[in-house]
Amino acid sequence: MKTKPLTSLGALALLAASTSLAANPPSAPSRQAYYGDLHLHTSYSFDAYVMMGTKTTPDQAYRFAKGDTIHFLGEAVRRKEPLDFLAVTDHSENIGAFRDLDDPNSEISKSELGRTVHKQGPKVFWSMLKELLSGKPVQGFDPKPASRSAWQRYVEAANANYQPGKFTTFIGYEWTSMPDGQNLHRNVIFRGDKAPYPFTSGDSWKPEDLWSFLDSQRKQGVEALAIPHNANASNGLMYDWNNSDGRPIDQAYALERAENEPLSEISQNKGSSDTHPALSPNDEFGNFEIFDHLLISPKKSAPGGSYVRDALGRGLEIQAKTGTNPFKFGAVGGSDFHGGLSQSDEGAYEGNIGGNDSASRNRFKLVFAGNNAGAKEDKGDGEHGPFKVSETSSGNLAAVWAEQNTRESIYDALRRKETFATSGTRLKLRLFGGWEYGRELLKDRDWVKTAYGKGVPMGGDLPTPSAASRAPRFVAWAAKDPDGANLDRVQIIKVWIKNGRHEEKIFDVAFSGNRKAGAAGKLKPVGNTVDTRTGKYANSIGGAELSAVWEDPEFDASAPAVYYLRVLEIPTPRWSTLVAVRNGTPLPKEAPASIQERGWSSPIWYTPVQPTGTPAKG
């Protein structure tokens, strides 16, 4: 599909209009897009087992993800399309210990805690959550022996399901720090086939101590990284200006964090952490899947320090003061489902944090009924917690550009941040940055090879410019999910430093149709074909492929900056609409009828050259 260049939105900035590559496809690049999930829970997580009654094992989770049929609770279930990679990331605290409740003769079943759980069921979960997260023996039961045994089975399941070249598994877990209910959770992902017993929030609630643990493992040849998630529910702590002791971030902290956390999760089941309307009032698409309270409380989460875009700007400011950027991370998505079955499309989600399996559906009894057509609104009764089902999201995906589907190749892509996230669809996107890209680059069959050769991919730093360079150029490319919706537009989001503070601006660099910007400089909407009576939409609008070579029209060589890509699909029915249609109930008032699924690239950074002739440390 051919698209026209921007006019009043920045004709001087857009050097090459979007063009279709279908008639002249590029040669196969050395790196392919692989899709997976680095955030999934099974019955080895205490909340999944106790609160949702999840019985799925890590082995079942891996087999389901790679396309096997799983026979579970009398149902034969199979994923619509296999994933390329998966990490089961159960909570490290008491990992696997609560599965022994299935055995009436086990130590935990005979304990006071076990008897309480058997008697009260999920209602007991919220009352004992704080004690469980402490990592200490609870109500006369020490979970460590059972947990260590479960960990061995956990590692074995990951290794047994690894099929190099076809399906990649990673050993991983979730470190579950939550001081005063404020989310500081991290998923720890290991590169190889060995991993030590997990470091838990009972060992320390401070991220700095988790990083020290990972540093010590790295010295022993065990490589791993940590991925923060649900920053939106951190109450400003995830990307705070200060360390855990309340002192301003210094260079030592920044270096340690950048080494151990090269990625952040930008979107998942419990909302988007891209941005918030309070932080980005001029972003017409910033109000996407907002979940802006704490995970275990209706208390609002402070926007500042809780979202990725704000963090990218804070990182530039901190780098100007300390010489190092602590928030120099790439983007991934995840499901965070607690039912053990990783799904990612709107039609597979039914409205609970378990995902779509029968156990969690029946346990939660979250159904659409009544005049408001919404799922049961939680009343703080201790059984369901603070969630309103309408504010949760379907599963998201992590994607990488890697040479092959192996642990080594995919992990290395995670490390170099050549990653992108999607809200669940399998759209593809690429972003390259450089100083020497030609205006007609995208007409070349080997444009990807040239883009790598003359610049850097997403996750990289712009090289030192030549004296003749005036502004960086970016190659932006996106293609629709082959089985999904057409694309609306491709945007480059820029964050930069001005007068010591970070600012942001969004540029529509490629779009479908013959649209033009309105009086306010905004591109006209693509339209909406969603039929809320049937839950169907039409690909009669939008484009299958959009691309552009774009030059920053407002570039200031003295100002540090960061750029990332956001790709929007045309509107499609939200999961809540699809459930209402299936059940024959009115649409829920609390949720939009349609959404624009999207993808986010990892950023590319620009650092001004110092008087010495070298870029400042990143």
pLDDT tens digits, 251-308: 999 999 999 999 999 999 999 999 999 999 999 999 999 999 999 888 999 999 999 9
Q: Which domain holds residue 438?
A: 14-30+428-606
pLDDT at 617 (0 to 100): 56
Secondary structure of 59-98 in the HEC alphabet? HHHHHHHCCCCEEECCEEECCCCCCCEEEECCECCCCCHH
Specify the residue for token string 């401070």. 206
Last residue of a domain, one of 367, 402, 437: 402
Residue 248 covered by a domain: yes
Do 576 and 596 sit in the same domain of this protein? yes
Residues 197 and 217 grouped into a single domain? yes
Co-location of 73 and 162 in the same domain: yes
- Tell me what pLDDT residue 113 has: 82
Contact predicate 131/138, CB 8 Å: yes
Domain stops at, among 361, 387, 402: 402
Tell me the β-bridge partners of 551.
473
Total-model pTM: 0.91
Handedness of CA 55, 127, 391, 205 (dihedral sign): negative
As a 3-state breakdown, the chain gives helix, strand, coil percent values, each rounded to 5, of: 25, 25, 50
The two structure tokens encoding residue 186: 């991290």
The number of folded domains in the chain is: 2
Those residues of the chain that have pLDDT short of 70 are: 1-29, 73, 126, 130-139, 353-387, 467-469, 611-618
Residue 418 forms part of a structural domain: no
**pLDDT reported for residue 135:** 53
Q: Are residues 194 and 212 in the same domain?
A: yes
Contact 171, 193 (CB under 8 A): yes
* Residues 455 and 380 both lie in one domain: no
Q: Please give the Cα distance from 511 to 542 (Å, whole number).
A: 8
Q: In the numeric block, which tokens belong to residue 259?
A: 């080494």
Q: Is 614 inside a domain boundary?
A: no
| Pair (457, 533) in one structural domain | yes
**Spatial separation of the C-alpha atoms in residues 67 and 70, rounded to whole Å:** 9
Note whether 437 and 358 are same-domain residues: no
Rounded CA-CA distance 161/62 in Å is 7
Count CA atoms within 13 Å of residue 216 on its CB side: 8
Residues 6+ apart with CB under 8 A from 459: 330, 416, 417, 418, 419, 602, 603, 604
The backbone torsions φ and ψ at residue 88, rounded to the nearest 5 degrees and listed phi first, read -80, 125
Taking every pair of C-alpha atoms in the chain, what is the biggest distance, in angstroms? 77
118, two tokens: 């058997």
If you write DSSP's letter for every residue of 520-535 in order, what string do you get?
A: TSPBPP-----BTTTT
Q: Which amino acid is at 140?
A: G
Do 371 and 444 lie in one domain? The reply is: no
314 residue type, one letter:
R
The reply to whether 99 and 235 lie within a common domain is: yes
335 and 467, same structural domain? no
392-447 per-position pLDDT tens digit: 999 999 999 999 999 999 999 999 999 999 999 999 999 999 999 999 999 999 99
How far CA 370 is from CA of 316, 381, 583, in Å, comes to 49, 20, 11
In this structure, what token pair is assigned to residue 303? 């926007």
Q: How far is CA 217 from the centre of its chain?
A: 25
Which residues of 334-443 form beta strands (DSSP E)? 397-402, 419-422, 428-434
Classify residue 220: in a domain, yes or no. Answer: yes
Placement of tokens 């109930």 in the chain = 585
Can you say whether residue 166 is alpha, beta or left, with left for phi > 0 and alpha for psi between -120 and 50 degrees? alpha
Residues 70 and 211 in one domain: yes
For residue 549 the two structure tokens come to 């070579």
**CB half-sphere exposure, 129, CA atoms < 13 A:** 21
Residue 409 included in any domain: no
d(CA 460, CA 198): 31
The bridge status of strand 14-16 relative to strand 545-551 is antiparallel
pLDDT at 362: 41
Residue 412 lies in a domain: no
Predicted pLDDT at 487: 98
- For residues 40 and 26, membership in a common domain is answered with no
Distance between CA atoms of residues 462 and 249, nearest Å: 25
Determine the Cα angle at 290 with ends 286 and 296, to 5°.
150
**C-alpha distances out from residue 121 to 50, 90, 127, 147, Å:** 7, 20, 12, 21
Strands 330-333 and 263-268: parallel
Give dist(CA 153, CA 158) in Å, integer. 9
- Within-domain flag for 532: yes
Judge contact between 566 and 491, C-beta under 8 A: yes
Q: Of 402, 436, 464, which one is at a domain's C-terminal end? A: 402
382: left (phi over 0), alpha (psi -120 to 50) or beta: left
Beta-carbon-side half-sphere exposure of residue 388 (alpha carbons within 13 Å): 17
8 A C-beta contact, residue 546 and residue 511: yes
Q: In this structure, what token pair is assigned to residue 550?
A: 């774009």
**541 in any annotated domain:** yes
